[in-house]
Amino acid sequence: MKASSGGPCDTKGETTVTVGVVLHREGDRGARAPLVNDMEPKLSRLLEDVRRSGGPVLALTGAGISAESGIPTFRGRDGYWVVGSRNYMPQEMATHEMFCRAPEEVWRWYLYRFGACKHAQPNEGHRALVALDRGLGERFHLVTQNIDGLHQRAGATPARTSCIHGDAAYVRCAGPCDGKLPLPDMGSRDAGTPFTAVDRARLSCPRCGGWLRPHVLWFDEYYDEENYRMQTALRVASRAELLLVVGTSGATNLPMQIGEIAFRRGIAMVDVNPEENPFSELCEASERGFFARGSACERLPDIVRALTS
């Protein structure tokens, strides 16, 4: 069943967050990452309040948390894919429309990207969130936009991890057949590896013989619960006492809804990112928000220690 929310790139849609008045507090905005154990007082107070309250914590991650593992973000300069003499952006490649038009080219692009995921290792940011998962137990939930599997490989608890944009480790029938299958072994590939008849056979649905597709949410598709755990993510957001956002540009729909819910509820909000973005604006507009400028590996270990010690 399709969900009512717009597709992941629907930033101009009804759920786009516009913060009427964005407060830029002197001294907080753009603060550089502090030295270890030298956390900004406001951040320290917020985390201490959450630790004492014993309330639920929601971590929301995007491509930025895996950047330090060597996986390019979508907005990075190497994001495009060349077909013939044309460059295609991820927002064009990662679509149902493109898959219908050129399935082999879309698969070549994914198999190249998936190869980068397979060779990457989880970093300190992923490991810090696993420490939070273990430390808080049922009080913790991770909503990730990443399909790279690095949270899972770092040890994230599957029942407390919602992959709202899918998971590169799986495929499913592009036609009517239900269920996910593990991605077949497609060998090692680079950007120039051609798509062969053997690849086609491996990527055929064992039931109907049609195309298998990557188990990822495309930019022209809708979130749902069955494949992408949309309702779970919204439910967790409506109960959390802290929203910890890491490495997302806020260009996708459900993550922005989660930010909006947190903002409206007035819960503690922390955004970890080297760059300003819509979540950092929400954090700066909220009494109980903080923009922790810096990379995931720099900032998350101290934040997690403050929440768990």
* Contacting positions for ligand NAD (CB under 6 A): 8, 62-68, 71, 73-75, 145-148, 165, 246-249, 251-252, 272-275, 277, 295-296
C-beta of 58 vs 205, nearer to ligand NAD = 58
Looking at the Cβ atoms of 139 and 172, the one nearer to ligand NAD is 172
Whether the Cβ atoms of residue 115 and residue 190 lie closer than 8 Å to each other: yes
| CB neighbourhood size of 187 (10 A) | 11
- Measured from the CB atom, the residue of 139 and 259 that comes closer to ligand NAD is 259
Cβ atoms 254, 233 nearer than 8 A: yes
Contact between 150 and 100 under an 8 Å Cβ cutoff? The reply is no
Evaluate whether 174 touches 210 at the Cβ level (below 8 Å): yes
Spatial distance between the Cα atoms of 274 and 207, rounded to a whole number of angstroms:
46
Cα 172 to Cα 18: distance, rounded to the nearest angstrom: 36
Residue 205 or 307: the one with the smaller Cβ distance to ligand NAD is: 307
CB-nearer residue toward ligand NAD: 56 or 125: 125
Minimum distance of ligand NAD from residue 66's CB (angstroms): 4
* CA 136 vs CA 132, 153, 158, 235: distances in Å: 6, 19, 15, 18
Among candidate residues 126, 151, 165, 215, the one labeled active-site is: 165
| Integer Cα distance of 107 and 105 in angstroms | 5
**CA 71 distance to own-chain centroid:** 13
Q: How many CA atoms lie within 13 Å of 36's alpha carbon, on the beta-carbon side?
A: 4
Whole-number minimum distance, CB 266 to ligand NAD, in Å? 24
Where do we find the tokens 């429309």? Answer: 97
| Nearest distance, CB of residue 69 and ligand NAD, angstroms | 8
How far apart are the C-alpha atoms of 300 and 309, rounded to whole Å?
14
Q: Any catalytic annotation for residue 165?
A: yes
Give the residue carrying structure tokens 């890491």: 246
Q: Tell me the residue nearest to ligand NAD as measured from the CB.
A: 64
Q: How far apart are CA 2 and CA 15, in angstroms?
A: 17
Minimum distance of ligand NAD from residue 73's CB (angstroms): 3
123 closest CA partner among 72, 76, 69: 69
- Given the complex with ligand NAD, which of 30 and 209 has the nearer CB atom? 30
Least distance between ligand NAD and beta carbon 242 (Å): 18
Catalytic machinery residues: 165
